[in-house]
Each structure stands twice: as C-alpha cells, then as structure tokens.
Structure 1
Amino acid sequence: MAATRIDGADVDNQAQGLLTAIAIGLLIGVVRERHHLGGGPTIAGVRTHAMVAIAAAVAATLDPLVLVAVVLAVGVLALAAYLRTRDTDPGLTGEMALLVTATLAAYAHHNASIAGGLGVIAAALLFAKQPLQRFARDIVSEREVQDGLLLLASAVVILPMLPDTPVDPWGVLVPSKLWRLVVLVMAVGMLGHIALRTVGGRWGLPVAGFFSGFASSTAAVAGFGQRTRDDAALTASAASAALLANLASLLLLVGVLFAVAPALVLASAWPLTAAAVMLALAAAIGLRRQGESPDLPREPEARAFKLSHGILLAVIIAAVLVLSAWLKTIFGEAGAVVTAMLVALAELQAAAASIGQLSATGGLSLPHAQWGIVGLLVSSTIAKTALAFASGNRRYALHVGAGLLGMALAGAGVTWWVVSV
C-alpha cells in the first residue's frame, strides 16, 4: 500500500509538472504570437512554444542527456531563425524566448510552482516591450540608472558580506545592521524620487515637502520657511509642506526602528500613530487654507539619493550607540536616553536607531525605550520649531510649531496611557 501511494504521488507530480510546462509554453507563445499581429514573420508562436515545452518537460523525466540534446536542438533552431530574420528583425528576444520556454518547462518537473511563476514573469516582460523601452530610454536618466545600480550593489553585494556579530566591546555595533540602515535610507530616497518624478508638479509644495522629508525634514523646514519670506502668499502651503516632511520623517523613523527593534515598534504603535495623525491634521489645515496649488520649488536634484547621507547616518548611529552604551555603564539607562535626546536635536533617525538597538539588546527596558521615543519627538519639536522661526515668517513658524507640538503631546499622552495600562 505504501509503495502504491508513493508511485501515485510521483505520477501526480509528473502530471503537474507537465501541465505547468504546457501552460508556460502556451502563455509565452500567445504573447509572441500577438507581437507579430502588425505583420512580419512569426518565428515561434503558440504551437512552437507549446511543442518546445512538451519536449523539454518529457526530456526532464528521462535521462539528463536527453534533456541536453533537446535544449541544444532548440538552441540550433533559434540560431537558424535568427540568421534568417536578422536583416529585418535584429533582436534576439524571440530566440531567447524559445530557450526560456524549454528551460522553464524542464524545471517544472522539479518545482512546478516556481517554474509557473517565472513563466508568468517572462510573459509579462515580453508583453511589456514598449513600456519597458520607453522607461529605459526616455524616462530614466543616466544618473538615476547609476543610483539604481549603486543601491543594488549595496543591498545585494555589500550587505551579505558584512558580519552579523558585534565588533565592539559593548556588543552594540553590528556592521550588517548598520549597513542595512544605509540601504534603507537609499531605498526610501529612490522611492521618493521616483514618486516625485511620476507625480510631477501637479500637487504643488505639499507633495514636494512629503518626499523631501524622507531625505531631510530639517532641510525641508528651513527651505520652505525661506520661501515664505520671499512670498508670504505661500505661507499656508509651505507650512503644510514642512509638516508633511516631518510626517515622512516620522514614517522613516518607524522603518528604522522596525529594522533594529520590531518589538519596540509594536509597543509604540499607538503613540506613533497618534503623533502621525496630529501632523497630518495640522498639514490638512494649511492645505484647506491655501488657494490654488503653487508651483513646485526649483527642480530637485537629478540624484535619487546621496550615499554620503546614508553613510553619515550610519556613522552617527554608531557613535551614538557607543556613547550611549558607555554612558549607561556610568549613569544607567537615563544616560543612554539623554544622549539620544541630544542627538535628536540634529538627527532624529540616528537617535531612534540607538534607542531601538539598546532596547533590542536589553540595554533599555521596554517602558524606558517607549519614553525615550517620546523624548526624541520632544527634542525634534524644539529644534525644528526654532528653525522655523529662524527661517520663515511668524505665521509659518507658529503653524509649524503648533503641528510639531501637537505631535509631541499626542505621542506623550498616548505613551502615558499605554505604559500605565
């Protein structure tokens, strides 16, 4: 009975793999067939891809040499097709599609679900020829391609090479975690840059403010404040833009905290949500007061992010972690929290990362870490309100200061309720 069940399972797996292989061939074949609706020779359509898929799927169940022979035969046919059509169609997409169909059909014998998913991706890539060409040639600039490659290299090449163990006597400096924060900042900058490029100037200063907050909410407060001195009519929208920049910075803070201390994020979810809601409400007041949406400020830099910003953040975080650990050995938990609050006057995410790291490693108890996050919000409110008064007109500063104060009070009030309960 057991042997029968095993044989039956083998038959079912082979049938699933064969059906998946046929589905891959039909899917890719349909896309290739439609590619030639406008005329021109069809090198490999639905029937050819389906036949190749069946041949490769059956060969995968036989001797490996049979599969090699089938793949080589498909390669020879693809080469012959290319030599016949290279004058009118010099591309290699159709020929490579045949090899992809054969390879995925053979792989379906080993893992039907992954092979099927890859088949869908391959078909989507073939179908999206024109949008992908337009994106690569017309929309994305050379500088943005360089930034994308740098981001991928940082995440795929450098990050896996870094150690996952502490390299300092206090056990707080983990290179992989520090570099993961650098990659996070770069990725968020790239995302904000792409979104801003997509939206354009239609939504005015508030959209520009929100996405600039992922890079530096401090710079956003100063920059939009300066605009109010140049044109007082922009005060309401500029204040909303500054508050939305701080909302983006708060979202980035949550991402940084989640990367180093997920438990602290869950414990502080309600206070952080209340703080974000207060910022959004204060920004909405300015949006309601403004008339027609003003134009975006000067065209942003072509770069999606600056690697130096991410590295500087990592250096600051490392310094804060070491300083906090050292002060904790002298003054206890209060020393680490005070250090982070002082750093938050200039760099909120770095201070938050230090609090999160100490909480994750047991250097701070969870309630102390929760109140530490509130302290960071208070420090940031003080610093940015002062900056708003220094850079913008009085109405701008009062609006920004009120919104930031509401953020800090909401976070403190809900934290008190959460900790007390």
Structure 2
Amino acid sequence: MNWQHFEPFLVALAIGLLLGLERERSHTRDLPAGSRSFALLSLAGAIASGIDARVVAAGAIGVAVLLAVAYRRTRADDPGTTTVIAGLVAYLLGALAYTRPAEAVALAVVVAVLLVSKARIHRFAREIVSEVELEDAIKFFVVAFVILPLLPDQAIGPYGVLNPSRIWLLVVLLTGIGWLGYIGVRALGPQRGLLVTGLAGGFVSASATTASMGRLSKTETGLRAALASALVASLATFVQLLLVIGVVDIEVLRLLWPPVLAGALVLVGVAAFVYRGGTRPDHTTAEDQDTPDEPTMRPFALRPALALATVLTLALLVSRWAADMLGPNGLVLATFAAGLADAHAGAVAAASLAAKGDVTVDAALIGVAAALGSNLLVKVILAFASGGRRFGLAFLAAMAAPAVVFGVALTLVVTLG
C-alpha cells in the first residue's frame, strides 16, 4: 500500500475543508454544519464510494436527514438553506473524489466560487438582469440547447454547405454575442462591457461580432462603444491569422507577420482613439442617424440573426463554388471567394498550397491578402446592414488605415522578398 491509495481520501478532506471554511467565514451565527463537519461529510462520501455505489446512495439519504435535523435546530438564527445544500454537495464531491479526483476538485472550486460570490450574484440577479433580459436568456437557451441538438449534423445541398446544425450554430453564435454584449454593457458599462465582448467574440467570428455591435450601436450604448468593440473583434482576426498560418507553413508566416503586426498596431491605435472618445458623451442629432435610438431594444433578436446567417451561408456557398471551379490556378479569386465566409479559411488554403509547393510563397501571400480583403468587405456590408449608414461609414473609415498599412507592408515584403 502506498500514498496513492490515500490520495482520494486526502482530496475529499481538502474539498470538505475548503467548503466548510468558506461557510464558517461567511457566517457569524450558528450553522447546521461547520468546517469539521464538512470535512467529515466529504471523507464519508469517499469511504462510501470505496465500498459500493449503493452505500453512497444510502449515505446520501442519511446525510440529507442529518442536515435537515441540524437545520431545524439552527434555522431561527440562519433561515437560509445554502449551508445544508452545500453539505450534501460536499458529501457527493467526496464520493466523486474516490474515482475522479481531478473532476471533484474542479467542481469543488466552482462550488466555492458560487458560495463566495453570494453578494455579487444577488446584485446581478436583482439589479443588473431585468425580467425582460431573463426571458430573453431563456429563449437563447432554447435556441442553443434545445433546438440545436435536435438538428441533423449532415452535409446536404451543393458542396455540403447547407448543414442544418452548422447553420443554426451560426444563429446561436449571432444571438449569443448580442446577448452577452447587452449584459456586458449592463454589468461593466457601455465601454468596458462591449470591449471585452468584442475581443472575445472576435476569436469566434469577427463578422458575426461586427453585425452584433452594429445592432447594439442603435441602442443607448451609443456608436463609439459599439464601434470600438467591432474594431477589437477585427484585431482578433489578425491574431488568429498568425496562429493558423504558423501551423500550416512557417515560411509564409515568416513573411506575413511584419505586415500583420503593422496593421494590428494601427488598428489598436484606432480602436484606442475610438474607445477613449466613447468615454465622453456622444452628442448626436436626429439628422445624423438613419434610425432612431432604441433604448428598449431587447438583447435577444432571432430575426436579424436568421437573416445574417442566411447571408453568411450564401457567401460560403459562393466561396466553395469558386474554389471548386478555379482551383490552384485561380488562387487569388478562390481565396477572395473563401474570405467572404471566413478570412482564415482562404488564408489557410493559400498557405497549404504553398506548403505543398503548388504555388510560390509570394502567391500565397497575395492569396492571404485577398481573403482578408473580401472578409473586410463582408464586415463592412454587415456593419451597414445591422448598424445603419452612420455605423457602417464609421466602421469603414476606422478600418481604412489598418487595411492600407497592411497592404503597403505586404507589398514591400513581396517586392523586396
């Protein structure tokens, strides 16, 4: 027998002490269970799991009864039931620690965070999230976790583009980014909330994030905050581009990173300028806007997401058709068409051809530029479609300088070798 035989029991004790200490630290009144009781409950769960699963079940019933009796004695001082429930969870986590200690520890940390965050969660539920936002969150969960799993994940139609599951996943992505952006604004304020949402959403889909920010620009958040968020989403595109190209072909990456870095630095400067301007009141008039502000716009909007998902699916269909018809001989046109759906898809296709020796590295760089150009065109169109003329023009103007710098730098790299 070695120490590994005792590891599950030590993990169970640690879990129980963690939860028990949190309960004692957060309460000054009598509790139905303290730190020692929690540690013993978790250890009992591990011992029961080592005997038999039926013993675990019987033990859970016994623990529930004991905690209920203890709660009756202390409910006058502490009417809450969180400690009782946490005690039962500690027992079950102890049982889990016997077979899967890593998962038990991870879940224990999550439980501890929930217990520590009592005030923040209550404030979020009572002051940040309104009834309308809660209803929309439920709708989003239906869209994401009820409808999506029921759709077939099968490639149908021309080029297998019309995949119901993947198309609906795009709808989930669009609605999710919009909802998270709305809640981020409520929790962190218009500037910080949208900025964090834009950067995170950009690593998933910069085009979808741009569309969502265009829609949010017509709410009380204002144009500047939404525009800065859309710009940092495009910054994520640059970062992802270097990562995926580095996996495919190091030689292409060696020549591509200087132009990408130059464009990214300019984009950071433009986004910072817009963001700092967003901290000041955004004075606008009715003549400056195509659409009036909508301060009561709901965070969940399914119809715009369906429309944008249709547009992006059609773009993907066109790109697949172009790639199939043109092949390597039409690299620039093929990557341009692929970029209509995703910039990285066209860029990876060009780098893959260079890695195989089918095209030169310089030709691959031009193909990457074509994919980024067409993807920028899609973002501009989405910015106009979702945010109106004012947001669209602002996004186009803001992206002009990074695009020009990237193009000039890439031209120098290709020319000078």
Cα deviation code 1:313-341 (max 9, x no counterpart): 22112212223334555566798976997
Cα deviation code 1:81-123 (max 9, x no counterpart): 3444556644322221121111111111112222122122222
User: In 2 relative to 1, CA 261–155 (structure 1 residues): closer, same or farther, beyond 3 Å?
Assistant: farther
Cα deviation code 1:190-223 (max 9, x no counterpart): 3332332234368899999999994538958997
- 1:159-198, aligned counterparts within 5 Å? 159-198=148-187
How many residues were matched structurally?
Answer: 383
Where structure 1 has 5 or more consecutive residues not aligned to the other structure, the ranges are: 1-7, 225-236, 343-349
Between stretches 402-411 and 155-164, larger displacement belongs to 155-164
Contact 1:18/1:54 (<8 A) preserved = yes
Between stretches 170-179 and 198-207, larger displacement belongs to 198-207
Q: Which residue of the other structure, out of 62, 73, 78, is the alignment partner of 1:73?
A: 62
Match of 2:18 in 1: 27
Q: Verify: 1:294 aligned to 2:285, yes or no.
A: no
Between stretches 144-153 and 69-78, larger displacement belongs to 144-153
Mapped partners of 1:370, 1:415: distance in 2 = 10
Q: Verify: 1:113 aligned to 2:102, yes or no.
A: yes
Aligned-residue RMSD, C-alpha: 5.0
Mapped partners of 1:245, 1:163: distance in 2 = 34
Match of 1:345 in 2: none
Residue identity in the other structure for 2:299 = A
User: In 2 relative to 1, CA 124–296 (structure 1 residues): closer, same or farther, beyond 3 Å?
Assistant: farther
Mapped partners of 2:67, 2:382: distance in 1 = 64
Cα deviation code 1:39-59 (max 9, x no counterpart): 3x3211112112222222222
Contact 2:267/2:402 (<8 A) preserved = yes
- 1:124-273, aligned counterparts within 5 Å? 124-200=113-189, 214-216=209-211, 219=214, 244=228, 246-251=230-235, 271-273=259-261
Mapped partners of 1:221, 1:132: distance in 2 = 25
TM-score by length of 2: 0.70
Contact 1:374/1:408 (<8 A) preserved = no
User: In 2 relative to 1, CA 328–187 (structure 1 residues): closer, same or farther, beyond 3 Å?
Assistant: same
Match of 2:301 in 1: 306
Residue identity in the other structure for 1:317 = L
Cα deviation code 1:349-400 (max 9, x no counterpart): x96425555666899957364132243267469879999xx967xxx97x97
Q: Verify: 1:46 aligned to 2:35, yes or no.
A: yes
| Secondary structure of 1:43 counterpart | coil
Q: Which residue of the other structure, out of 263, 267, 280, is the alignment partner of 1:275?
A: 263
Q: Verify: 1:18 aligned to 2:9, yes or no.
A: yes
User: In 2 relative to 1, CA 418–149 (structure 1 residues): closer, same or farther, beyond 3 Å?
Assistant: farther
Contact 1:167/1:173 (<8 A) preserved = yes
Mapped partners of 1:205, 1:114: distance in 2 = 33
Residue identity in the other structure for 1:80 = V
Residue identity in the other structure for 2:184 = A
Mapped partners of 1:185, 1:170: distance in 2 = 24
Q: Which residue of the other structure, out of 371, 375, 387, is the alignment partner of 2:373?
A: 375
Match of 1:404 in 2: 399
Residue identity in the other structure for 2:263 = A
Mapped partners of 2:79, 2:170: distance in 1 = 44
Q: Verify: 1:92 aligned to 2:76, yes or no.
A: no
Between stretches 71-80 and 308-317, larger displacement belongs to 308-317
User: In 2 relative to 1, CA 318–331 (structure 1 residues): closer, same or farther, beyond 3 Å?
Assistant: same
% identity of equivalent residues: 32
| Secondary structure of 1:167 counterpart | coil
| Secondary structure of 1:409 counterpart | helix
Between stretches 279-288 and 210-219, larger displacement belongs to 210-219
Contact 1:204/1:295 (<8 A) preserved = no
